[in-house]
A and B are shown apart, each in its own frame.
Chain A
Amino acid sequence: MNDPNSTIISLKDITVSYDGEQVLSSFCLDIHDGEFLTLLGPSGCGKTTVLRTIGGFIKPDAGDVFFYGGNITALPPHKREVNTIFQKYALFPHLNVYDNIAFGMRLKGKSEREVKETVHQMLSMVNLSGYAHRGIGQLSGGQQQRVAMARALANEPKVLLLDEPLSALDLKLRKDMQVELKKIQQQTGITFVFVTHDQEEALSMSDRVVVMDGGNIQQIGTPTDIYNEPENAFVADFIGESNILDGLMLEDFEVRFAGHKFRCLDKGFGNNTPVDVVIRPEDIDVVAPDSTHITGEVTNVTFKGVHYEIIVDVAGFKWMIQSTDYRAVGDRIGLSLTPDDIHVMGKSEYSGMFGDYSTFSDEMEEDIIATEEAQQEVIGDED
């Protein structure tokens, strides 16, 4: 069942539009049997539409959905061997926990003995044994989430679709549920298709990540591929923090940006080709200004717990650096890069849209001013 090379669901040239606006056009995607696949992108990128098309809730205007090679495009949701965990859980409020989980099995005509066995098995899997006869209204958000999971898994789906299931939970609970979800996926071997706009969630749980924007796939790959080898400026900006600079690929392994030539590990772009250069903030070493080509003045420092986020103005371009060493605003510092830190990408429609962190400090400043004003108002009120 879990042959990683066999395709369980295949989307071919899917086109979907709402009110004349095209959300997906000629969208293609193969989902492997038994994998944890995440659709990642900002809101409105079409990721939920993809999920709903697989679930059968959206009939595509054109294109086909295949399940183990069979065309299921016309099949209604209740006849598909996939189950969904909805964003707002969508539990049945008129039924208790037990009956919610039993809903699908009873529709399939399973015996009450079998139903009971499975319900208790599911409840213990999601750590809710003893909650069988609670009403839905008596459960916390995290518990409802787990009931929704148990309800979907009780149906023994071949594919589980998860529509931002963790977005309504607080941070701590979300982290726990991420671990839980991954564990359940590995235990059951069910193919998970997970939709999220949270890049950290995507990176920590998935076997493969599909980064989407504007209804198109920007990149498919393992979490490390996506992070270390982004294919364009959008992916680089969306996944983690990035300094994205205009560059010129002089020849293989040699790129020019920020006014200097650098050795790098990238090749195959051709000579004298304009490119985008990505440098991750955590890869930059802070050194003395006289020992490197790139020097600048610190304009902003934010303490983030693990590290400081330092904004440096280098000839008008504001870099972000993550460093465990504190630097004061106004310090002149040097930035040192090794070939390994430099990642070169081809130019795309996103080139120039993302880049430096010049808006970063302005935004901060505005926030600080707004906060101060609000505080003063509060003080004024108390007088």
Chain B
Amino acid sequence: MKTNSRLLSAPYTVWMTIFIVLPMVLVAYFAFTDKQGSFTLENILSVGQYSNVFLRSIWLGAVATAICLVLGYPLAYIIAKLPAKRQSVMVMLVMLPMWMNFLLRTYAWMTLLEDNGLINAALNAVGLPKVHMINTAGAVVLGMVYNYIPYMVLPLYSVLTKIDQSVIEAAEDLGASDSKVFLKVVVPMSMPGVISGVTMVFVPAVSTFIISKMLGGGGNLLIGDLIDMQFLGSAYNPNLGSAISLVLMVMILICMGIMNQFDDGEDNGKGGIML
């Protein structure tokens, strides 16, 4: 049995080594070397000059994640309460945009938000003044929310459907009104879904480059754009690009660590004084 499972896992081990471990080692190698291949800390240290880009990325990513949570939670809750048949239809509708090409979806928003785009044309038609929307931070956040909200809704939905109806009834039975049931039972029990939803939206939102490029114009440079520029753009410098990637990875790890800490705290730490 043991040799069997080892044999079975061999292809995965090889795959993970070649496509996950090795690239990470390479990124680290490039980050700590210069163009000649000798060790240096210069790349890492020069990441500091882009702190405004980092801050902007984290800020916009956080705003988009918060909006996704605020919009996605009620949606997931409503879907989870529907009869089983309608649930699967609704879940499919949530996922449907994901089947469409990512670029195409973002292009569509460009034509909507442009100064002479569909929205402004519509505003014009009813006699309202034009609104400048494209190439703003708001447009970037909108793009993030639109593209990543399914990643928030799905884990929330799956956690919410797993909450046993009898637990809800037990809370009502013990004297909890609908709002108390929601706050004291549904929300705490759905925390694992909140954590994974937040992670799944925040991580890609922070490191996106297509959305900011297409909807944010030049003024809303994000970390993703910065990395993109080091490898494919005018500022060709793979060593610096690797360093930025490495710093980004560490920062995301820290963010996730904080989130998980928060989750654990809910479970054990406070205990007796939860209410």
Contact = CB atoms under 8 A, between A and B. Distances in A.
A99 B184 CA distance: 11
Interface in A319-344: none
Nearest to A99: B274
B266 A94 contact: yes
B166 interface: yes
Contacts of B184: 103, 107
Interface string B171-203: 111111100100011001101000000000000
Contacts of A57: 169, 172
Given A99-B271, A99-B272, A99-B274, A92 B173 contact: no
Contacts of B164: 88, 90
Contacts of A104: 174-175
Interface in A26-84: 55-57, 76-79, 82-84
A145 interface: no
B170 A108 contact: no
B42 interface: no
Nearest to A161: B173
B166 A107 contact: no
B271 A133 contact: yes
B272 A108 contact: no
B262 to A, nearest CB: 14
Interface residues of A, number: 32
Contacts of B173: 55, 77-78, 82-84, 152
A90 B274 contact: no
Nearest to B181: A78
Interface in A116-138: 133
A106 interface: yes
Contacts, number: 80
Interface residues of B, number: 24
B176 A107 contact: yes
Nearest to B163: A93
B272 A90 contact: no
Among A57, A76, A92, the most chain B Cβ lie within 10 Å of the Cβ of A92
B264 interface: no
B275 interface: yes
A158 interface: no
Contacts of A76: 172, 177
B175 A108 contact: yes
A99 B164 CA distance: 18
Contacts of A86: 166, 169-170
A83 B169 CA distance: 11
Contacts of B177: 76, 78
Contacts of A98: 271-272
Interface of B: 164, 166-167, 169-177, 180, 184-185, 188-189, 191, 266-267, 271-272, 274-275
The 8 closest A-B pairs by CB, nearest first: A104-B174, A90-B166, A90-B170, A77-B172, A107-B175, A94-B188, A84-B173, A106-B275
